[in-house]
Structures are given as C-alpha cells and as structure tokens.
Amino acid sequence: MAEKASASKTTTDRPRLMLLDGHSLAYRAFYALPVENFNTVTGQPTNAVYGFTSMLSNTLRDEQPTHLAVAFDVSRKTWRLNEFPEYKATRSATPDEFRSQVALIGELLDAMGVRRFAVEGFEADDVIATLATQAEALGFEVLIVTGDRDSFQLVSPNVTVLYPTKGVSELTRYTPEKVVERYGLTPQQYPDFAALRGDPSDNLPGIPGVGEKTAAKWITQFGSFAELCARVDEVKGKAGDNLRAHLDAVKLNRRLTEMVRDVELPATAEQLVRVPYDRTALGGVLDALEFRNPNFRERLFAADPGAAEQAAAVAEGVAVEGAVLAAGELPGWLEERAGARVGLASVDTWALGSGGVTQIALAVGEEAAWFDPSRLDAAEEKAFAAWLADPAQPKVLHNAKNVERVFAEHSWRVEGIAMDTALAAYLIKPGRRSFALDVLSVEYLGRELAPADSGSGQLAFGEEDDGEAAAAGALMAQARAVLDLGEVFAERLPEVGAAELLHDLELPTSALLAKMERAGIAADRAHLENLEEQFAAAVRHAVDEAHASVGHEFNLGSPKQLQEVLFGELGLPKTKKTKTGYTTDADALAWLAAQTDHELPVIMLRHREQAKLRVTVEGLVKTVAPDGRIHTTFSQIVAATGRLSSTDPNLQNVPVRTDEGRAIRRGFVVGEGYETLLTADYSQIELRVMAHLSQDEGLIAAFTSGEDLHSTVGAQVFSVERDRVDPEMRRKIKAMSYGLAYGLSAFGLSQQLGIEAAEARALMETYFERFGGVRDYLRRVVEEARSTGYTETLLGRRRYLPDLTSDNRQRREMAERMALNAPIQGSAADIVKLAMLRVDKALTERQLASRMLLQVHDEIVLEVAPGEREQVEELVRREMAGAYPLRAPLDVSVGVGTDWESAAH
C-alpha cells in the first residue's frame, strides 16, 4: 500500500516543479466539502475554491517547489473525443454550483502569480505530461498533484505523483517503487494495464470477465501491451476469447490512455518560476470569497515565495526609533509630542472589576515608545490619564470601543479619538469578514505584524535583547501600523463618502457602547437557572415521547437515525433529497407534520425548540458576572447594513413573541439602586423609511392617518372599507409590506404565506398598482446600484454589491435583493444609532443618573434611577422621535417595568 505523502523538502539545489490538475482537484474538493456550508452572502458556492486553496497552501508548505503551474481542461472537445465520440459520454453534467467556482480559482491563482494553462483540443493531463517531460529532461524534480490515476504512467525516479486518497486533505506519494507495490507493474506498463482494465469514468469499455488482477497478470506475463497483442492467440480460456473479441476496442483504449508529451504551450517549464503574490489582489479575492478563517489565510500567505524578502523590506522601510520608557520618562515623552497624532496599541484583558491593561505602545511619526502601566507612579499615571482625556491630543486606535471599555478599569477616560482603523475599514468595505489589525496591515500596508506576546518584533533597542524588549518591539510595530493605517483611511473615507459617518455617528456610538457594555444589565440568576431546568426537563420529556411513538430508542440528534425512523420504519413522505439523505430540518419537519397524522414530526419540532431554549438560557447563566449583571459585547462591524450585533451572550437570540421567550426576558431585571427598566422602540421603522425613500403619497398618508397601517393599506389593496379588512387580509398585507422592505420575491412571499406563487404575484401586482411610488423606487434603487456599484442609506452609508453585474443568475438575483434591502435596513440602523446618541446626550445634559443598558434589534433598554421616570420617558420620546426628519414620522413606543418583559409595550 502506498505511503501517505509527508513533507519532502528539497535537499539539493535542483529546481522542483509542481504541477496541479486543476479540474481534478477542484472536483474532489467540491464533493469533499458540503456546498451548503460554503456560500458567500450573495449565495455564491465556494466549497471547491476553499478545498482547492487549502490543499494548495498545504502542499506548497510541505513540498516547497521552486516552479509551479496549474493545468485545466477547456472542454470535453479534445482529440480523444474525435477518435472516440463516446469518450466521457457517461459523465453527468457539470453541477452549476461547481462551474461558477472554476473562474474564482483562476482569479485566486492569478493573484498568487501562478501560471495556469488550458489548451484547446487537449486535456489537462496532456499539458502536465508535456511540462513534466520538459522539466525532467532539464534536470528538475517534478511533483504532479492529481486525482487521475492515468498520471502514474509519468512516474519515474525524477517524477512523483501526489494522489489524493481522502478528499484533498490527504495525499499519497507514488514513486516507481510504490506503483509496483500497488499494481505489480512499472509506471511504463501502467497505460497498458489501464487499457485492458478500461475506465468507466471515461467511458472506455473493459473486457467482459477481465478485472484488474487479470489485466496485471497478462502485462506481467507478456511484458507489454504490444507483445500481448502480437501473441494474443496464446491467451487461453474464456478470458482469451473475450480479449480477442474486444481487441480493437482495447487498442483504442491504449491510444486514448497514452498522454501527449509534446503539446505546444505558451511557456516552458523553466519559465514557471514562482513569483511573489500580489498581496493586495489576493486579499481582495479572499475577502470577496468571505474566507475569514485566520489560520486558512495565514497558511496561504506563509507560502508566498516573496514573504521573507517583503518582510525584510518592510522592516527596513518602517524602521522607527523605539524606546522602552524608564521610570519617570512618560510625562516628558508625551509633553514633547503634544498635539501630534499618536497611534496607540495595548495588550489587555477584559473582565469587569478584575481586567486591565498590561502593555501600552505609542507611535508618533518615526518614533515609538512602550511602557508597562503597572509600573507607573502616581505622577506618571496622572500625566498619562490627562493626555488620554485631552480632546486636543489626536489619537488613532484600532477597535476604540474595546480600548475605552478596558481603560475605564484604570479610571482612564479616552477623548480625542481621531480615527478608529477597524471602523474605518468597515465603512470602506463593509462586506469583508475580517477587520483584524494584522489582516488590514497586510492588505493596506503590505506589512506583516507579529502578535504582541510573540517575542518577535521588527524594532530594535540598542543592546537590549530580552523577552520584554522583543514584546515591546512587536507592540510598537502594531502602534505604528495603527498610525499608518489611520493615514491611509483618512484619504479613503472621503472617497466613499464616509468621513462624516465615522466622526459624527460611528465613533460616538462606539464610546456609548463601551459605557453600555460596562454597565450590563442585572440578571435574576435563580429565575434563569429554574428556566434552564424546565427546558431540560421538556427536552427529556420530548425524547421519551419520541421513543414511545416509534416503539424503541434512537438518537434524536442523529440525522441519519432520524431519517431511518421517519422514512424507513414509518414510511413517511420523502422530503428534499440531500447528499446525506432526505432532509430533516425544521421546514421539512413542519411539512411532514402537515402531511401525516404521525406525532413524531411534531415531537421533533418541540424537542428542537426546547433544546435551543435550554442552550440559550444556559449561555445566559454562564455569562452572569460577579456583579450579578450580564455584560454583552456589541459590535458595529459585523452586519454589512450597519445594524449592531450582540455576542457573549447574543441577546438577539432571546425570542420575543413566544411564551418561553417572554419568560427568559423576565430574567433581566432592574438593578440595585434603580427604580425600573424602560424600553423604547420605533413602530414599523423600516416601513416608514421605505415610505420616505419612495415618496409614495398613498403610503405616507397611511402612516399619517393615525389608523392601523396594515388595515389602512389592506383596504386600498383589496378595495374594501377599512373595517372590512379581516385578519387574513391584514396578515397578507403585513407580510407583503415587510417583504418588500427586505427584498422578498413573489416566490418567497408565497412560501411565507402558504399560498400559490401565482396568488402571491397577483397580490404584489395589486399592491404596486395602489402604491406605484414604492414600485418605482424599488426598480430605481436596483438600477442605480447596478450603475454605481453600491447602495446608500439616508446618512450616506454605502454597501458595495459587485454581483449586480454578475453573469451568474443566482448571484445577481441575491445582490438585487440586497440592493432593495440595504438602504432601508441600513437607514433604520443609522436612525437608531442617532436616537441612542441623542438620548444619552440628553441624559448627560440633564445630569440624570438613569443610563442606557441595551440596544437589541430596534429596541433601547434603559435603567431608570429613583424619581427620574417621568423625565426619562419624556426625554426618550422626544429625542427618538426627532432623530431624523422622515415624511412618515417616527413613532416611539415606551414601556416600564421591573424586568425586561414587564417593561414591554
């Protein structure tokens, strides 16, 4: 059995050429990785690209070739098809999900500087054979990475085939010895053997009754296929008769199996020298593909042949005069650089009441300084705190919210933030999935950064060379990167119309969120723990019910076992077929519950719901801090539309409209020293934004009438009096209105309402007849975005949608839905942030002790101090209603109570 491939680095000065069969490897990756787990937000599948790239980076790391090329098939129309029209005729059509990924692999290879070949009339095998033959003659070592066994004919002492034996993650190294071990034949005999065996994948017929063992025996006995043909009469028995009967077909197989070694190519093996990546272009491709795994990117960039040279050049180009500040030096250092723009980086831990900052680095121009804040004496700390709090001292930070949050543990207030490089990168390219400093540094500065605790910095400090100096160097390099990125983004932000958005909205919101995260919200731990046990008991009960319903135990969490029970034992109607069987997701179970009287689908739905609730509550209990409060983390840079997200715990996961969800919300309570919680949110803000953007007078009038919106709109759409609009009509209109705001198609509306697509389409057409302004706006916003490449909110927040011009229908239609949704949802998100800032400012100006705690979806939660309830309610209503002047005026709902649920409205 062939051994698995392991690292085999070049041990001589011989050049090493690695050749990859692009289509073969991409196909293997496509089927090795589930396509449903690898999609961009536009719906573009990326599993083949991810698997291919992962395999490529690993192989480059292990083999370290000096030369590299990838060969692709052009089409099935090759010289082999001309000789044998049935060649590969039995292969199924290329899946659409795969076809679109080949071009993406090409873009990635181009950014890596990898030469790729595709020659009309020939297969990738022939290109590889030609280059391998050239390279071997020139004294190269050659590595061929392919999933095609026909390549074994190329194996020699200088040519090794790396053959995938498990997806594309595990390669087996085929040398001449391993080919003999596997087949009992030499590589030169392999095409003879393959011709006799036939190849169903290529539709090359074999000989009836002749398998691999017999084929290998004949080649071993006669020495070659040519000799076997010359002495074919010596082959006895039924097998011999079959051989003679199919000899012409086998001879054709032999011609087709032989690889062409003299294809005319635009480059020779010598010209395939690896070149440095275009890192900016490669970063852009990876961002577009939404490959955000840092390990994946690190492996790929580590294989860049220009990495070492670039790192040396960058280190020389950004050499700064660094200093580890001694006792008493910090105040003078700051004073000498007063008014200068300063990049700040820190190492810290966030744990309310126990966290703190362990290292700080500052960068100004060509200088940098590092200090340990724990060593500052009272005078030094006072000077540093004063500098931080001085708005006249401009500071450049990365993730300023996190810095402000943890610096407050030292009672340091941060003012004068001129730039947040994470927020700026988000506003420039909101669709990217990584805003890490090291990623941005590589993309925009071409500069690699070491972690601050890695001990490998780019800065030197005279004769000092201990661990602290190395760590200081790494952190100062980060501070310098923050400073330099700030300059780059200061130029880029006006180009995308986002400079004011950063300074007037995002930076103030960042400071407010830091305060909110520190405040947290009080939790009733006993209530939450009781709920957790209730949900756990409900899960156990559902398991018992499921077992009783089928008469035996099975694992409810195993899709395979559930499929066997539902579709095998019970014989229920088949759901959608997937690669792993018939789907058992929530939609499928709900469909089964409607199609059959058997109780198991309903039990399974209840089991999953209760299990999810248990996990949600368990997560909440674990995050109750020692102060008895839950401190979620808000992010401004996750949702491309501008909406805030919440993690650790994710409070957006707490259900709102179910009894169980309401029970969970009762676990969030007013804290000690406060009187009540107050919640406030906007009524139908997305629809009001849509009315404003579309300027549809009928929809605006529906909002300003003071009547129930959906009943008023329903009366116009269904041509009935308002009091004749029944609940079903209202339900359809509500789904329609919100669906339009979220880019819902007629098909999506039909699925949501449970009606035929034709009825949903007719409903939409009638709606547009009544509200033509909405129809015209929705058409206009897509057309304008297709022209400019982006959508824009009321405050100028852009979302770039390059797929609006894609020739891939699926990607194009997904981008069109995003174009419909982004201006509406993004404007609503911007208005909520404006409202939060206005409310917080008003609380401060009135010197009230009440404070803002949470922002979840479009809801704001405040903790009201004793005696301030009326003032806070009046203030909140006024400031939120006046956040932005919409033609369909903002309407604010307010509620109060001792817990989050009782404060609902």
Q: How many CA atoms lie within 13 A of 314 on its CB side?
A: 21
Peptide bond into 649 cis (omega under 30): yes
pLDDT higher for 669 or 736? 669
Residue 527 scores a pLDDT above 50? yes
Mean pLDDT of the chain: 87
Kindly report each contact of residues 44-47 with a partner whose C-beta sits within 8 Å and lies 24 or more positions away, as own/partner: 44/100, 44/104, 44/289, 44/803, 44/808, 44/810, 44/811, 45/97, 45/98, 45/100, 45/101, 46/101, 46/104, 46/289, 46/290, 46/291, 47/101
Least confident of 453-462, 471-480, 750-759, 862-871: 453-462
Residue 535 scores a pLDDT above 80? yes
Cα separation, 747 vs 398, whole angstroms? 43
pLDDT of residue 706: 81
Residue 492 scores a pLDDT above 90? yes
Residue 93 scores a pLDDT above 80? no
The most confident of 22-36, 295-309, 602-616, by mean pLDDT: 602-616
pLDDT of residue 120: 86
Cα separation, 814 vs 162, whole angstroms? 39
Q: Could you tell me which of 827, 815, 807 has the C-alpha nearest to residue 790?
A: 815
pLDDT of residue 459: 42
pLDDT of residue 869: 97
All structural domains of the chain: 16-184+259-271 (3.40.50.1010), 306-520 (3.30.420.10), 522-630 (1.20.1060.10), 686-827 (1.10.150.20)
Residue 530 scores a pLDDT above 80? yes
Average pLDDT estimate for 826-841? 97
For the beta carbon of residue 176, count every other beta carbon within 10 angstroms: 17
The most confident of 80-84, 118-122, 599-603, by mean pLDDT: 599-603
Do the beta carbons of residue 630 and residue 498 sit within 8 Å?
Answer: no
Cα separation, 642 vs 657, whole angstroms? 24
Cα-based distances in Å from 826 to 477, 519, 742, 778, 833 = 36, 27, 11, 15, 11
The predicted-structure confidence for 583-620, as pLDDT tens digits, reads as follows 998 888 999 998 899 999 999 999 999 999 999 999 99
Burial class (CB in 10 A: 0-12, 13-18, 19+), 25: buried
pLDDT of residue 84: 65
Cα separation, 407 vs 399, whole angstroms? 13
Provide the pLDDT confidence category of residue 2 given band limits of 50, 70 and 90.
very low
The most confident of 143-157, 345-359, 506-520, 548-562, by mean pLDDT: 506-520
pLDDT higher for 292 or 215? 215
Tokens found for residue 662:
């309401």
Cα separation, 662 vs 666, whole angstroms? 6
Provide the pLDDT confidence category of residue 688 given band limits of 50, 70 and 90.
very high
Residue 837 scores a pLDDT above 50? yes
pLDDT of residue 454: 45
Residue 461 scores a pLDDT above 60? no
pLDDT of residue 813: 83
Q: Is 755 helix (H, G, I), strand (E, B) or coil?
A: coil
Residue 185 scores a pLDDT above 80? yes
pLDDT of residue 793: 96
Provide the pLDDT confidence category of residue 320 given band limits of 50, 70 and 90.
low
Provide the pLDDT confidence category of residue 311 given band limits of 50, 70 and 90.
low
**Rounded percentage of the chain residues whose pLDDT exceeds 90:** 53
Cα separation, 755 vs 82, whole angstroms? 52
Which amino acid, one-letter code, is at 147? G
Residue 448 scores a pLDDT above 70? yes
pLDDT of residue 555: 94
Average pLDDT estimate for 103-118? 93
Provide the pLDDT confidence category of residue 463 given band limits of 50, 70 and 90.
very low
- In sequence order, which residues have a C-beta less than 8 Å from that of residue 565 and are 6 or more positions away? 550, 554, 600
Average pLDDT estimate for 754-782? 89
Least confident of 308-322, 471-485, 489-503, 670-684: 308-322
Provide the pLDDT confidence category of residue 10 given band limits of 50, 70 and 90.
very low
Residue 873 scores a pLDDT above 90? yes
Average pLDDT estimate for 397-403? 96
Provide the pLDDT confidence category of residue 79 given band limits of 50, 70 and 90.
low
The predicted-structure confidence for 693-742, as pLDDT tens digits, reads as follows 999 999 999 898 888 888 888 898 888 898 898 988 898 888 888 888 77
Do the beta carbons of residue 117 and residue 127 sit within 8 Å?
Answer: yes
Residue 460 scores a pLDDT above 50? no
The predicted-structure confidence for 353-376, as pLDDT tens digits, reads as follows 667 899 999 999 989 999 999 999
The most confident of 28-42, 474-488, 772-786, by mean pLDDT: 474-488
Pairing, β 159-166 against β 170-174: antiparallel
**Rounded percentage of the chain residues whose pLDDT exceeds 70:** 89
Residue 316 scores a pLDDT above 70? no
Provide the pLDDT confidence category of residue 319 given band limits of 50, 70 and 90.
low
- In sequence order, which residues have a C-beta less than 8 Å from that of residue 667 and are 6 or more positions away? 523, 524, 527, 528, 531, 617, 620, 899, 900
Residue 7 scores a pLDDT above 50? no
Pairing, β 851-856 against β 798-800: unpaired
pLDDT of residue 457: 39
pLDDT higher for 807 or 204? 204
Residue 899 scores a pLDDT above 90? yes
pLDDT of residue 508: 98
Provide the pLDDT confidence category of residue 9 given band limits of 50, 70 and 90.
very low
Cα-based distances in Å from 21 to 87, 124, 146 = 19, 6, 5
Cα separation, 477 vs 319, whole angstroms? 9
Q: Is 112 helix (H, G, I), strand (E, B) or coil?
A: coil
Cα separation, 287 vs 294, whole angstroms? 12
Residue 1 scores a pLDDT above 60? no
